[in-house]
């Protein structure tokens, strides 16, 4: 028995909800990657405001990692989830929920670090509206990601209970 019978209590079956959510997640991941590219360009322009070179280097490296995470890993996870939901694959739902949970925690660490560095090195979040928007964007997406982890894990349990182990019908 799955944790949820429908996708987030909205009377949509889990499978159809996963198909729509994976498409939306793909678009949001691409938009987030572009948002981080914009942030990278902003950080490169403000390089002289950092008090020390290691702070600047660490911030840039973490930004590169997040661009890769959202531009490649999360997009591939969304494609795998879409194909898995379309083909009734329990493994893709489990893979998606694990990758999404790990990615959300990694991004939380980055956002906290960026908030501290921005406050310490760049004059505070009130002087950096982009970084303030980034933190709010992350908070909204983190809530949605938790929803997706729960529903994809429910989809995994649903597929397992119906006998759809590896895409077989």
**Within a domain: residue 167?**
no
Instruction: Summarize pLDDT for 41-93 with one digit per residue, the tens.
Output: 888 887 777 777 887 888 888 888 888 888 888 888 889 888 888 888 878 88
**Within a domain: residue 83?**
yes
Q: What percent of the chain has pLDDT over 70?
A: 88
How far is CA 112 from its chain centroid? 15
**Within a domain: residue 7?**
no
Q: How many domains does the chain have?
A: 1
Supply 33's token pair: 């990657």
Instruction: Summarize pLDDT for 146-168 with one digit per residue, the tens.
Output: 888 888 888 788 778 877 665 45
Residue 138 DSSP label: H
Query: What gap in Å lies between CA 12 and CA 101, rounded to an integer?
Result: 23
- Whole-model pTM: value is 0.78
Domain span at residue 32 reads: 13-162
């Amino acid at each position: 028995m799955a944790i949820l019978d429908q996708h987030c209590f909205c009377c949509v079956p889990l499978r159809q909800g996963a198909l729509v959510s994976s498409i939306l997640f793909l678009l949001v991941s691409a938009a987030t990657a572009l948002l981080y590219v914009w942030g990278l360009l902003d950080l490169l322009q403000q390089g002289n405001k950092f008090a020390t070179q290691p702070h600047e280097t660490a911030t840039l490296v973490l930004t590169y990692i997040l661009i890769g995470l959202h531009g490649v890993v999360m997009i591939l996870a969304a494609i795998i989830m879409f194909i898995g939901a379309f083909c009734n694959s329990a493994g893709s739902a489990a893979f998606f929920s694990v990758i999404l949970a790990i990615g959300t925690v990694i991004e939380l660490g980055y956002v906290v670090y960026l908030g501290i560095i921005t406050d310490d090195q760049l004059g505070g979040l009130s002087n950096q509206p982009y970084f303030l928007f980034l933190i709010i964007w992350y908070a909204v997406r983190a809530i949605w990601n938790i929803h997706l982890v729960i529903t994809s894990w429910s989809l995994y349990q649903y597929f397992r209970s119906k006998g759809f182990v590896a895409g077989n019908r």
